[in-house]
């Protein structure tokens, strides 16, 4: 444990003397384009997940759970279901069948004080109850943002005023001493482990701060001085935690980080962005798997992955990039999406948990086919975010961030707009085609294409069939042109095959490696614990099949599109 502490201390020192003091100005933020209609593989994923969320389990008569049925997570299933339906609906353009009825039932499901779950004696704080109600708040805020139904804000205000605000003074007493918390316990669904002082504590260490994210979302729509005091107290306590030593749950941590970034935007406080940046580095070192998923607790490497956390990691990386435009965050959008989010989605459209067993940390296997109580709903949140991250704008610049089949309309003020259609087989091919389908006063618009700098080579760009000279700035190809209808842009490149070192130096040695094709992690399905030498050479036989030279060993991406073969007996080696 001392070794871990020294590493954490060293990282903190680096941030103190380096970019932690950098002035990250929120005015640098780029803004996502909301008018995006996706097709292709992302649409397939969204619609399949949408279908799953309209099955019996998630319908109005079944979605509201008793405290016992929920495992003492009041509001958690209900909130995540509402959020998932809202996000799937917005990203697909399809109206949910049962969402309005679920919303209408909420008031009668609240307790007499207007929130979900039991009413505890004054001074008793239940972190799982705060967490579950946090999901309900975030879901209702998302619903309001979409439908502008002010009635749901009454419920948000009720939960805030009667559950969160009365906790003032207790949040600063939340137990964060590693010696006081029970570590190495808890399964896929957390449970109340013990009561310590005022606090009923969960094996999902830190899940209180999932509730903090809900409170921060509430502050956007029903702000009050009392709520701000509580949020500030929660944030102060969160920033005091040594996440690694306490073995905090990575999902709770990443959700808290999302909340801090939202609060940074609300309050204009760039210090919070720096604090999230520091914790992102800790997460990568001590919480991220080699396929860019998560271990459910820091340094607990026998723990399952959890798509809820994977989604949050994607959202944190995307938000950090949008606020700072630092290139180092950009590759993680593709790495997390293709190798972790896509790997976790199952044939039925739901999302499940994977594992790296202690006996074979080199191979990824199935831990839970579907985490239907949480991850299936959050998967919708993640897929919707990927769609949203297709395009961003700032001033007269349009950033093309995620390559996929889609159509988008972008307005630059009242007088200028551009519509475009994108088609590609990326990441399985190195070609992206974009056609301008509408152009109004577009002579000043600058298109910026993600250069995929970390894994692309032999880059070329063509406009209407003619090769164009370009520069790459902050990870983007900058294209200036007097855009008009039917203009065609072609971006071509080669995906490099790379032999990469492990990122987790606690688990793996310098002799162990992973093999990537572009953003895709390659794996082996044959005899376990295959070893490859350090100068291994790999050749592409097709976009989905690769061969180790001078052998009969074949590799393929861990990415799959809800493959029916990814079942409980599935296993794939990714470290060699």
Count of beta carbons in the 10 Å neighbourhood of residue 268: 11
Lowest mean pLDDT among 218-222, 256-260, 341-345, 409-413: 409-413
Give the CA angle between residues 164, 166, 171 to the nearest 5°.
70
Q: Are 217 and 262 in contact (CB under 8 A)?
A: yes
* SS3 (DSSP) at 493: strand
Closest CA to 437 of 402, 461, 406, 465: 406
Reported as a pLDDT band with limits 50, 70 and 90, residue 495 is very high
Reported as a pLDDT band with limits 50, 70 and 90, residue 16 is very low
394-495: CATH topology:
Immunoglobulin-like (2.60.40)
Can you tell me the distance from the alpha carbon of 139 to that of 79, in angstroms, rounded to the nearest whole number? 5
Give the model confidence (pLDDT) of 415-449 as tens digits: 899 999 999 999 999 999 999 999 999 989 999 99
pLDDT at 26: 64
Reported as a pLDDT band with limits 50, 70 and 90, residue 15 is very low
- Given a cut of 80, whether residue 159 has pLDDT beyond it is yes
Can you tell me the distance from the alpha carbon of 565 to that of 563, in angstroms, rounded to the nearest whole number? 5
Say if residue 427 is preceded by a cis peptide, omega within 30 of 0: yes
- Any idea how long the chain is? 576
Reported as a pLDDT band with limits 50, 70 and 90, residue 450 is very high
What does DSSP say about strands 571-573 and 538-542: parallel, antiparallel, or unpaired? Answer: unpaired
Domain ranges of the chain: 394-495, 498-573
């Amino acid at each position: 444990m001392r070794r871990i502490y020294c590493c954490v201390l060293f990282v903190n020192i680096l941030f103190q003397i380096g970019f932690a003091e950098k002035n990250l100005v929120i005015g640098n933020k780029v803004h996502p384009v909301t008018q995006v209609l996706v097709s292709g593989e992302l649409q397939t994923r969204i619609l399949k997940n949408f279908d799953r969320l309209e099955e019996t389990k998630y319908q109005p008569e079944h979605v509201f759970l008793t405290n016992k049925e929920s495992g003492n997570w009041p509001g958690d299933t209900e909130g995540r279901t509402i959020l998932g339906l809202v996000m799937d609906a917005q990203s697909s353009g399809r109206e949910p069948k049962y969402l309005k009825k679920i919303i209408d039932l909420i008031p009668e499901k609240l307790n007499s004080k207007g929130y979900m779950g039991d009413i505890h004696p004054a001074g008793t704080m239940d972190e799982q109850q705060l967490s579950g109600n946090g999901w309900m708040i975030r879901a209702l805020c998302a619903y309001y943002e979409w439908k502008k139904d002010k009635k749901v804000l009454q419920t948000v205000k009720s939960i805030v005023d009667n559950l969160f605000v009365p906790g003032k003074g207790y949040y600063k007493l939340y137990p964060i001493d590693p010696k006081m918390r029970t570590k190495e316990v808890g399964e896929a669904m957390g449970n109340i482990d013990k009561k310590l002082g005022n606090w009923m504590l969960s094996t999902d260490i830190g899940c209180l701060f999932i509730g903090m994210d809900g409170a921060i979302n509430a502050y956007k729509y029903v702000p009050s001085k009392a709520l701000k005091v509580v949020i500030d107290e929660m944030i102060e306590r969160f920033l005091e935690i040594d996440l690694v030593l306490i073995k905090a749950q990575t999902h709770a941590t990443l959700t808290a980080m999302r909340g801090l970034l939202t609060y940074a935007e609300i309050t204009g406080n760039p210090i919070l962005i720096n604090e999230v940046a520091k914790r992102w580095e800790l997460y990568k070192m001590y919480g991220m798997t080699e396929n860019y998923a998560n271990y459910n607790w820091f340094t607990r490497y026998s723990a399952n992955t959890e798509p809820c956390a994977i989604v949050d990691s994607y959202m944190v990386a995307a938000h950090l990039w949008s606020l700072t435009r630092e290139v180092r965050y950009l590759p993680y959008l593709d790495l997390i999406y293709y190798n972790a989010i896509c790997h976790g989605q199952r044939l039925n459209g739901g999302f499940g948990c994977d594992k790296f067993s202690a006996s074979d940390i080199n191979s990824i296997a199935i831990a839970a086919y579907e985490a239907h109580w949480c991850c299936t709903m959050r998967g919708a949140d993640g897929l919707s975010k990927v769609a949203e991250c297709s395009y961003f704008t700032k001033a007269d610049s349009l950033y093309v961030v995620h390559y996929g089949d889609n159509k988008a309309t972008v307005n630059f003020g009242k007088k200028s707009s551009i519509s475009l259609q994108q088609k590609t087989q990326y990441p399985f091919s190195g070609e992206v085609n974009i056609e301008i389908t509408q152009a109004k006063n577009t002579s000043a618009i600058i298109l910026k294409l993600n250069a995929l700098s970390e894994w692309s080579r032999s880059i070329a760009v063509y406009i209407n069939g003619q090769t164009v000279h370009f520069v790459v700035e902050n990870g983007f190809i900058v294209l200036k042109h007097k855009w008009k209808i039917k203009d065609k842009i072609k971006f071509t490149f080669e995906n490099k095959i790379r032999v990469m070192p492990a990122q987790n130096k606690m688990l793996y040695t310098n002799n162990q490696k992973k093999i990537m094709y572009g953003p895709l992690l390659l794996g082996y399905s044959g005899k376990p614990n295959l070893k490859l030498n350090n100068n291994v050479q790999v050749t592409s036989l097709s976009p989905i099949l690769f061969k180790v030279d001078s052998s009969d060993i074949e590799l393929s991406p861990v990415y799959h599109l809800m493959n029916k073969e990814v079942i409980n007996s599935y296993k794939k080696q990714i470290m060699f």
